[in-house]
Structure 1
Amino acid sequence: MPVRMTLPPTLAARIAASDRPQFGVWVCSASAVNAEIAAGSGLDVVLIDAEHSPNSLESILAQLQAVAAYPVTPLVRPPFGDPVAIKQYLDIGVQNLLIPMVDSADQAEAMVRAVRYPPHGIRGVGSALARASRWNRVEGYLADAASTISLFVQIESAAAVEHVDEIAAVEGVDGILVGPADLAASMGLIGQQEHPDVVAGVMRSIAAAKSAGKPAGVNAFAPAVADRYAEAGAALVLVGADVSLLARSTEALADRFIGASRP
């Protein structure tokens, strides 16, 4: 007899069940080892990035398998909101998707259709061949697939902030995540994530999500900034990245042991 499987709760479900914000870390190295290390850290979320990282389907799959043994939620960001790529991500077992650069409700609605089977969407049916259903070892997967997936979209531009109320209100969008770096760049303030206009855009987006009854997340690597957005109602705060942590920690070692004597 095959082992019958149940899938873990989605990110949206875990946020809803928690009485505090969720805190997470990016894994941008395309390393299953780094993903597993992050998964055992005690943080809530491991965000596997394929937009700005050298990730393939195979490396994402390896990271999903590496973190599966830990009580952490994997969230995966594809390079862009392409329905064909989304179909492949879902089939390898991605349950929580973060779609970058969503600027309108129409884009958000297209992403909802991409993650749902007909008649409510356009996702191709390949569950018998796929890890998503654990090769048909998850009972009733086809009928219940939508409940096993959470869809978050990124608010990363001035246009997205302008339309954030409509984006957050789209049925099937489970939450938003604000990217202050790209938001600042779109406003002509590149590198100025703490500019008052950027902060106001983040705060507006958090408020819009709350009004829609949905969670908002934000990227905030500076602890004081992370605290501010959590206090403002962000339900997910991403507070670091594996590559940045490695870069800064090794630099600190160099400063400590070599310092000014380095040629």
Structure 2
Amino acid sequence: MASSATPQTLKARLNKANEEPLYGLFLLSFSPTLAEIAGHAGYDYVVIDMEHGHGGISEALPCLQALAATQTPAILRIPESSAAWAKKALDLGPQGLMFPMIDDPELAKKAVTYCRYPPNGVRGAAHPVVRASKYGIDEEYINKCEKELLIMCQ
């Protein structure tokens, strides 16, 4: 479960998963209160499920804010694998993005390009005005995102 020490990124912790199991929760309700409870319960991460849950970008934001208040990493599962959904989701600042319905290596490579800035991908550069970069305050956001973002294809 989550520790009170200086938090590592979720991606770094997953790379050490053979040393320490991680426990997560899928949240389909889009309730910030339930997201906060999950964070306080000690889950290592929470997946906010926009594929099967009833909410979208506007409903995901309060859940991300609630999880951030508990220092619990959030993964957004988008409803479809597209550049538009990836951009909107990543602008909110999750530690991970989960692409659904990826059933071959070419689709996986394409999904990764949606998360990377040029020249490594096709993600647009609105970083000075989005939550993910602390509205432009985090000057290292682009470099950190390239290194720390967990990209999951399923």
Q: Note whether the superposition's TM-score is higher than 0.5.
A: yes
**1:14 matches 2:34:** no
Deviation for aligned residue 1:75: 1.3
Deviation for aligned residue 1:129: 1.0
Q: Distance in 2 between matches of 1:153 and 1:66?
A: 25
Q: Secondary structure at the match of 1:75?
A: strand
Q: Distance in 1 between matches of 2:148 and 2:139?
A: 12
Residues 9 and 90 of structure 1: CA distance in aligned 2, closer, same or farther (over 3 Å)? farther
**What is the match of residue 61 of structure 1?**
61
**What is the match of residue 50 of structure 2?**
50
Residues 76-112 of structure 1 show CA distances to partners (whole Å, capped at 9, x for unaligned) of 1000111111001111112201111110000000011
**What is the match of residue 26 of structure 2?**
26
- 1:134-173 aligned within 5 A: 134-154=134-154
Higher Rg of the two aligned structures: 1
Contact 1:30 1:55 in 2 (8 A): yes
Measured on the aligned residues, the alpha-carbon RMSD in Å equals 1.5
Unaligned stretches of 5+ residues in structure 1: 1-7, 155-263
- 1:199-210 aligned within 5 A: none
Deviation for aligned residue 1:145: 2.5
Contact 2:48 2:76 in 1 (8 A): yes
Contact 1:9 1:148 in 2 (8 A): no
Q: Secondary structure at the match of 1:136?
A: coil
Unaligned stretches of 5+ residues in structure 2: 1-6
**1:103 matches 2:77:** no
Q: 1:152 corresponds to which letter in structure 2?
A: M
Contact 2:44 2:72 in 1 (8 A): yes
**What is the match of residue 4 of structure 2?**
none
Residues 138 and 17 of structure 1: CA distance in aligned 2, closer, same or farther (over 3 Å)? farther
**1:80 matches 2:80:** yes
Residues 125-147 of structure 1 show CA distances to partners (whole Å, capped at 9, x for unaligned) of 00011011101111222344211
**What is the match of residue 114 of structure 2?**
114
Contact 1:64 1:74 in 2 (8 A): yes
TM-score in terms of structure 2 length:
0.89
User: Moved runs in structure 1, 4+ residues, more than 4 A?
Assistant: none
Q: 2:135 corresponds to which letter in structure 1?
A: W
Contact 2:87 2:124 in 1 (8 A): yes
Residues 41 and 71 of structure 1: CA distance in aligned 2, closer, same or farther (over 3 Å)? same
Q: Secondary structure at the match of 1:68?
A: helix
Q: Secondary structure at the match of 2:23?
A: strand
Give the percent of matched residue pairs that are identical in Structure 1 and Structure 2: 35
Q: Secondary structure at the match of 2:74?
A: strand
Deviation for aligned residue 1:33: 0.8
Deviation for aligned residue 1:17: 4.1
Deviation for aligned residue 1:9: 4.2
TM-score in terms of structure 1 length:
0.53
Q: Secondary structure at the match of 2:103?
A: coil
Contact 2:11 2:148 in 1 (8 A): no
